[in-house]
Chains A and B, each alone.
Chain A
Amino acid sequence: MSKIKSLEELQKLRQTAKGSLDLRSTAESENRMIVRVGMATCGIASGARETMSAIIDELAKQGIKNVSVTQTGCMGYCAEEPIVEVVSKDNPPILYGHVDAERGREIVTEHIKNGRLLQNAIITKSFEKIE
């Protein structure tokens, strides 16, 4: 490690280091979006792992910070796997079906960044959870 000689250098180091903590601070933030990828056996078998990697990669590329990508178990609609659910404060939960890596990236650009839903990929616009 080289010495930090000025305030600017400290700020620069902070910006770089901050990336590694985003994962943690996002979970505490109020307006975070959650992307859940179905990762049960059926999901993994139909390529959900690649989908998730693509989504994480695309988020990093575009510098989007307020999104946490997590996995979930079987969503019960195995025919549509890989399934991705996007949860945000403004919209009801949206389920996308047949999400391959490419469509994953599209979700990031269109839905998460620009707020436009991918109409042709939505399984059902909303569902109610029974608590």
Chain B
Amino acid sequence: MSSYRMHLLVCGGTGCTSSQSLKLMDELNASVKRHGLSDEVEVVTTGCFGFCEKGPIVKVYPDDVFYVSVKPEDAEEIIAEHALKGRQVERLLYVEPNLNVKLEGQRDLPFYKKQVRIALRNCGFINPEDINESIANEGYQALAKCLTEMSPEDVIDTVTKAALRGRGGGGFPTGLKWKFANKNVSDEKYIICNADEGDPGAFMDRSILEGDPHTVLEAMAIAGYAIGANHGYIYIRAEYPLAIHRLEIAIEQARELGLLGKDILGSGFDFDLELRYGAGAFVCGEETALIQSIEGERGEPTTKPPFPAESGVWGKPTCVNNVETFANVPPIILKGAEWFKKIGTEKSGGTKVFALAGKINNVGLVEVPMGTTLREVIYDIGGGIKNDRKFKAVQTGGPSGGCITAESLDIPIDYENLTAIGSMMGSGGMIVLDEDNCMVDIAKFYLEFTVDESCGKCTPCRVGTKRLHEILEKITNGQGTEQDLLDLRELGETIKDTALCGLGQTAPNPVLSTLNYFQDEYIAHVRDKKCPAGVCQALLSYNILKDKCVGCTACARVCPVKCISGSPKVVHEIDQSECIKCGACMNACKFSAIEKR
């Protein structure tokens, strides 16, 4: 075995690779070679560190130094200075914006301080393409424990006691799901991993598959042992090429070592799995539609009951769990139900991964214990709102969820609490909105998504979401009436009650929750024909402030439709009938003389 004295871990997640981390790897390797350090320094690709805002990330072991926003050009300096001479490259350290101090180690970063990483434990720590690194860090130990020391009932019991619940959004107790599937007698049963991550802005499942694929394979085998299944499917969207690539490598390596296949670890238990690619339809994340898709049918939901645990893929008992749910299973088996339960709240054990996006300083992937407040996630970990703007709301649960306002910032996050305030856990997308976001526009955005993604099988969803979207369109165009607001609510409630599957039943949530919490904004749109956030173009106008305009002509020169008149040193004027509201004049004005109202 080689004895490297230094490991350079480079993030190879999708986020960082699109900011050139692969080229950075090449440069680092070339530089290591150039300095003759090939026997001493190893450059390792890992999965996502979660701190995507500051990617690409390079972490140096054993010094525990954390470099951020590293470019390929920086490779030579890191090797020449840090690897060769042992001097940190100060300019690449993370600067804590509030204190303006440079922080060295990963654990010093406020972004990581409040996080508890269970599902993401190996992401950014091991090389996902090397099964040995996974095994070194307890990979497949939980499977071994199940096969040698535990009965299937023990396994189900442990998972039930740990209060692990479905991380895909529904929050159904995982142990119970396994129990149902276990009880149904059949010659064949199936385990499915739902990796059809469809919520806009959510990417935790992708990151787990990219950073730690073996944990998912291991957990699926454990689930197979628990319910008596010998075959598994991973249903993954084809838009995740890197995750698919790493899964293929992982499956190959696990088969080679006999950790998948016949007679695993000499226990007599057989388990193998294969990948199924989805075409990226949102509805295929719904378990019955997913099963249809695996069978080669059109991805449309079927009525429940029968539940998949009774009659799933090929009519056999099937257990469908989400990627993140699976990633929690091995640690639960190894460390026990009590340990896991203690981390979370009474009804929801463990942690939840959230994808922070929108108007927040630290965009990225964070894992926090259940029961953490939104305030801690947004301000302590997320670093607060971008450009010191005012917080308005946070959208959770994607197109099925709703908005949470400033009043609810101190509510501990768990499944029940989020549902109680009109949102939902969903898969964990968290989009932060500030005062410049128009809530009607946000609702319209999500409706546009569900209209596109509705499979068309049931009328409430197919026609209802379309009508909802049309009303919203009308309101943002300035033609809305107060009757429209009543219609929105009534139609929304009807869809909720009558749609066939989860997608349709939750599709009106973004509208209903914004109507509840931001009614004044809707009223401003329909009664005063104003968009308070200044987003809806039809409802705003650009005007020149007479006392501030110095007549520099800058605005008139950039106006694409030439609707600004005025000679030099004379106050200019905008012809509202011609103006296309592009905002170019406002950006060009150096005297803040143009106002948007």
Contacts and interface: CB of A to CB of B under 8 A. Distances in A.
Given A4-B265, A36-B86, A57 B63 contact: no
A27 B62 contact: yes
Contact of A23 (B7, B253, B257, B259): B7
Contacts of B148: 7
Contacts of B97: none
Given A19-B1, A72-B86, A26 B126 contact: no
B3 A21 contact: no
Contacts of A56: 3, 5
A93 to B, nearest CB: 16
Interface residues of B, number: 36
A68 interface: yes
Given A10-B144, A36-B86, A72-B86, A3 B258 contact: yes
A11 to B, nearest CB: 8
Contacts of B5: 23, 52, 56, 69
Contacts of B147: 7
B445 interface: no
A6 B147 CA distance: 10
A118 B434 CA distance: 61
B136 interface: yes
A13 interface: yes
B85 A5 contact: no
B257 A4 contact: yes
Contacts of B126: 21
A68 B3 contact: no
Interface in A52-67: 52, 56-57, 60
A14 B62 contact: no
Interface in B38-70: 61-64
Contact of B61 (A6, A19, A27, A40): A27
B252 to A, nearest CB: 10
Nearest to A71: B86
A111 interface: no
Contact of A24 (B3, B62, B253): B62
A38 B87 CA distance: 10
Contacts of B87: 72-73
B124 to A, nearest CB: 10
B259 A4 contact: yes
B132 interface: yes
Interface in A21-40: 21, 23-28, 36-40
Interface in B1-29: 1, 3-7, 9
B61 A17 contact: no
A70 B265 contact: no
A114 B5 CA distance: 23
Contacts of B538: none
B133 A20 contact: yes
Contact of B62 (A3, A20, A39, A70): A70
Contacts of B271: none
A13 B140 CA distance: 11
B85 A13 contact: no
B408 interface: no
A91 interface: no
A21 to B, nearest CB: 4
A60 B7 CA distance: 16
A48 to B, nearest CB: 10
A18 B357 CA distance: 36
B133 A69 contact: no
Contact of B1 (A1, A16, A40, A72): A16
A40 B257 CA distance: 45
Contact of A10 (B107, B253, B265): B265
Contact of B265 (A7, A20, A44, A68): A7
Contacts of A36: 86
Interface string B121-142: 0000110000011011110110
B266 interface: yes
B500 interface: no
B84 interface: yes
A28 B64 CA distance: 8
A120 B313 CA distance: 75
Contact of A3 (B61, B64, B86, B257): B257
A69 B137 contact: no
B86 A5 contact: no
Interface of B: 1, 3-7, 9, 61-64, 84-87, 107, 125-126, 132-133, 135-138, 140-141, 144, 147-148, 253, 256-259, 265-266
Interface of A: 1, 3-7, 10, 13-14, 16-21, 23-28, 36-40, 44, 52, 56-57, 60, 68-73
14 contacts: A1-B256, A3-B256, A3-B258, A13-B135, A19-B1, A20-B136, A24-B7, A24-B61, A38-B86, A56-B5, A69-B5, A71-B86, A72-B87, A73-B85
